[in-house]
Amino acid sequence: MSNTYRINQSTFLEAAHQFVEATNQNKAKEEFNKDIEVVENRFNIIYLAHQAKGAGDIIISGRYNGWDDLKYILTECTGLLDHNYVDIAECIKGLNAIRFEVVTAQFHIKIQKDLKTNREAVIIKRRV
C-alpha cells in the first residue's frame, strides 16, 4: 500500500465514523473499525466501478437499510480510494440531512440520511 492510499483510507474512515455517529448508529471507534474490517462484498461495488466507462456513469444508486448495509458499502468503497492522489472525504451535517461525501480522482461517493423522513440513500458516480 502506498502512503497516499493509507492517508486516504485514514481520512475516509474518520469521516465515515463521524457520519455513523451523526446518524445515531452508536458505534464506538474500535467497534466501527472492527466491523468495517471483517465484512465481505455484498454489492460488488468495485466490480461495477470497473464496468463503468465514461464520466457521469452511475455505479450504484438507491436506498440502504441501516448499519447492516452501510458497513458493506463503506468497506467496498475503500477499494475505490486512490493510490496516487489525495482524496477528499467529509461528513456534512445540515438541518434536514447528514451527508458523507468522498471525491477521488475517478469517483464521487455520496451517502445521505434524511433526518425528516429517516430515509438513507447512496449514489456512486464515475468522475472521469
d(CA 124, CA 111) in angstroms, rounded, equals 8
What pLDDT, on the 0 to 100 scale, is given for residue 28? 87
pTM over cut 0.85: yes
Lookup: cell for 108: 464521487
- Residue-wise pLDDT for 29-80, tens only, equals 889 988 888 778 899 999 999 999 899 999 999 999 999 899 999 999 999 9
Q: List the domain range (segments joined by +) for residue 107.
A: 3-126
- Residue-wise pLDDT for 71-111, tens only, equals 999 999 999 999 999 999 999 999 999 999 999 999 999 99
d(CA 86, CA 81) in angstroms, rounded, equals 9
Counting the structural domains of the chain, the total is 1
CA dihedral 45, 14, 71, 52 (to 10 degrees): -10
